[in-house]
């Protein structure tokens, strides 16, 4: 059976359409697809998606995170072990984070990290044969938005929802940003950190994110407007 973009696919399906395009230009394979010699096969059940020019992946509602190199994740420090921290990122095993993986960190100037702290980090090493490794700096040694997330509220969601709210086509974050100020960090491992001016606003943002998973863009805008009016009513 021929598999096309937008079709429901199952593990083992052969994607002929991707192979044809791959002969002309470079193709990027995302989650749920694997190359075997010169053929592309599906490894997860879901819907085959494409983003221009030639990026393909399988969209599904997986909850177990499989580490992938270069992804930003939110983890919880669960152990100090010598010069490294062990961080729970929701995968099958904990990831390691060196104390030197922070901006300006040296042997004399160690970062103040405690067990239980929430960190926003980038996956540096992700392989089925190696332990995942995290860093809290970019390629230039700058932390940017990475590092320890203080205060705020952390909750879990499906990996599909993370991809949805980070999509340029999703109006959720833009709609909420226009209503009241807040900070947000979204990890590709299905965790979201939120910090707003009040606990009520923080919970409202979290409920809006969780509520947008199965609704359309127009319904998302309407939902954000309703939440803003309810909060305004409580304030007044």
Residue 82: CATH number of its domain: 2.40.50.140
Whether residue 2 is contained in a domain is answered as: no
Q: What whole-number distance in Å separates Cα of residue 231 and Cα of residue 221? A: 16
- Per-residue model confidence as pLDDT tens for the chain (236 residues): 667 777 888 888 887 777 554 455 677 777 788 888 778 888 888 888 887 777 888 877 777 788 888 889 999 999 988 888 899 988 888 889 888 888 877 777 878 888 888 999 998 887 777 888 998 887 776 777 888 898 889 999 888 888 888 888 888 888 888 778 889 999 998 899 999 888 888 888 888 899 888 888 888 888 888 887 877 665 54
Q: What whole-number distance in Å separates Cα of residue 186 and Cα of residue 235? A: 28
CA atoms within 13 A on the CB side of 52: 1
Range of the domain at 24: 8-59
Domain identity same for 217 and 158? yes
Q: Which of 149, 183, 203 is the last residue of a domain?
A: 149
The count of structural domains within the chain is 3
Whether residue 67 is contained in a domain is answered as: no
CB contact at 8 A, 195 and 205: no
CA 220, 30, 93: angle at the middle one, nearest 5?
A: 95
């Amino acid at each position: 059976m021929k598999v096309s973009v937008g079709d429901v696919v199952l593990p083992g399906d052969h994607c002929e359409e991707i192979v044809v395009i791959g002969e002309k230009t470079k193709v990027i394979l995302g989650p749920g697809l694997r190359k075997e010699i010169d053929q592309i096969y599906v490894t997860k059940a879901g819907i085959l998606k494409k983003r221009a020019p030639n990026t393909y992946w399988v969209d599904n509602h997986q909850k177990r995170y499989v580490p992938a190199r270069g992804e930003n994740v939110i983890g919880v420090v669960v152990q100090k072990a010598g010069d490294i921290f062990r961080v729970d990122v929701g995968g099958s095993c904990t990831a390691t984070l060196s104390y030197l993986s922070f901006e300006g960190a040296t042997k004399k100037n160690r970062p103040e990290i405690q067990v239980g702290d929430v960190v926003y980090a980038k996956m540096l090493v992700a392989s089925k044969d190696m332990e995942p490794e995290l860093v809290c700096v970019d390629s230039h040694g700058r932390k940017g938005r990475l590092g320890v997330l203080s205060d705020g509220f952390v909750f879990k969601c499906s990996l599909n929802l993370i991809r949805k709210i980070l999509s340029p086509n999703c109006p959720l974050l833009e709609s909420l940003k226009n209503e009241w100020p807040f900070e947000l960090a979204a990890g590709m491992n299905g965790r979201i950190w939120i910090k707003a001016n009040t606990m009520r606003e923080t919970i409202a943002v979290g409920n809006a994110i969780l509520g947008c998973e199965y609704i359309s863009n127009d319904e998302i805008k309407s939902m954000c407007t309703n939440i803003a009016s309810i909060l305004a009513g409580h304030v007044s």
